[in-house]
Amino acid sequence: MRFCFPDWESRHGDQDALAQAWLASQEFAARGPDGLATECVLCGTQARLKLHGDPASPDFREGLVCTGCGLNTRLRASLKLLREQLARWQPAPAPLPDLLARLGLRPRLPRVYVTEQATATFVWMQRHLQAELHGGEFEPDWRRRRGLTHALRRMGGRGRVVFRDLTALDFADASLDGVASFDVLEHVPDYQAAIGEMYRVLRPGGACVATFPFTDQPTTLVRARLAADGGIEHLAPPEYHGDPISGGILCYYHFGWDVLDRFREAGFSQACMAMPYSLEHGLPYGMWTLVAIR
């Protein structure tokens, strides 16, 4: 089942179905999905779910991992959505693909920018996504980037970690078919600039698929902001998220439904919060993922 809403008002128009999904997910959680066999939406095969972290306060978004692909629920849901978006992409009109095959040339793969690179998720994408991937890390220090490249290789990944600033990307206008951003946007103080850049580099029809802490409330909670003197002003207790570079990176935002307005203001023709929901596939309620189409 898929829930998909363009705004807070329409999300409340489907209250019954959402309430049922939420209740069923509560039962699913109470049964203890740890060890449950499931058909993973990414692996496509039977795999077991493994619950990591404190079982007394289970975190099904981050802690419920498929033993097949090694990815948590948030990533399984969002990568499924990304794969669906890339499947819409047509390499070239027929009969050109046949001609290219006869000439021994491979058709161009969809070009996708991933706003992270030294992660197990990027390695999974390198192995399993039919796409030309471009990663990057916001790490200007080349020595630390070299360390990140080693980390990428240790995880089984390929290539060299490059510096990329999500608010000032080095891609040409309309040069990409997809942008994937998994829990990065909340760490970018000027996230509107980041959304503007994602719009600029996507071709018309290209898709952005993104996750971030989502409150499911009308407005975004600003936890911290840059002060005039260049320091950081905390409006809520500082929250740090795990990061391979520093061990902890400040979270500036918990986004609300108004984040979709920021995407539409940047020019995206469609923006919605989607929630893939399927208990049979180990996807309980709450895996909200942004899908925006240029």
Work out which of 68, 135, 136, 284 binds Zn ion, going by CB under 5 A.
Answer: 68
- Which 3-state string (H, E, C) describes 149-187? HHHHHHCCCCCCCCECECCECCCCCCCEEEEEEECCHHH
The residue among 26 and 45 lying less far from Zn ion, judged by its C-beta, is 45
Give the span between the Cα atoms of 252 and 88, in whole angstroms. Answer: 33
Q: Which residue is nearest to Zn ion (CB)?
A: 40
- Site membership for Zn ion, residue 75 (CB under 5 A): no
The residue among 10 and 45 lying less far from Zn ion, judged by its C-beta, is 45
- Nearest approach, Cβ of 121 to Zn ion (angstroms)? 12
Residues forming a β-bridge with 46: 39
Question: 171, 201 in Cβ contact below 8 A?
Answer: yes
Number of residues that bind Zn ion (CB under 5 A): 6
The residue among 76 and 262 lying less far from Zn ion, judged by its C-beta, is 76
- Nearest approach, Cβ of 282 to Zn ion (angstroms)? 8
- Site membership for Zn ion, residue 69 (CB under 5 A): yes
- Site membership for Zn ion, residue 43 (CB under 5 A): yes
Question: 50, 19 in Cβ contact below 8 A?
Answer: no
Work out which of 21, 49, 64, 66 binds Zn ion, going by CB under 5 A.
Answer: 66
The residue among 68 and 256 lying less far from Zn ion, judged by its C-beta, is 68
Site for Zn ion in 181-240 (CB under 5 A): none
Work out which of 18, 21, 40, 161 binds Zn ion, going by CB under 5 A.
Answer: 40
Q: For strands 176-182 and 132-134, give the pairing.
A: unpaired
Number of H-type helices and E-type strands within the chain: 8, 16
- Site membership for Zn ion, residue 82 (CB under 5 A): no
The residue among 42 and 131 lying less far from Zn ion, judged by its C-beta, is 42
- Nearest approach, Cβ of 41 to Zn ion (angstroms)? 7
Residues that bind Zn ion (CB under 5 A): 40, 42-43, 66, 68-69
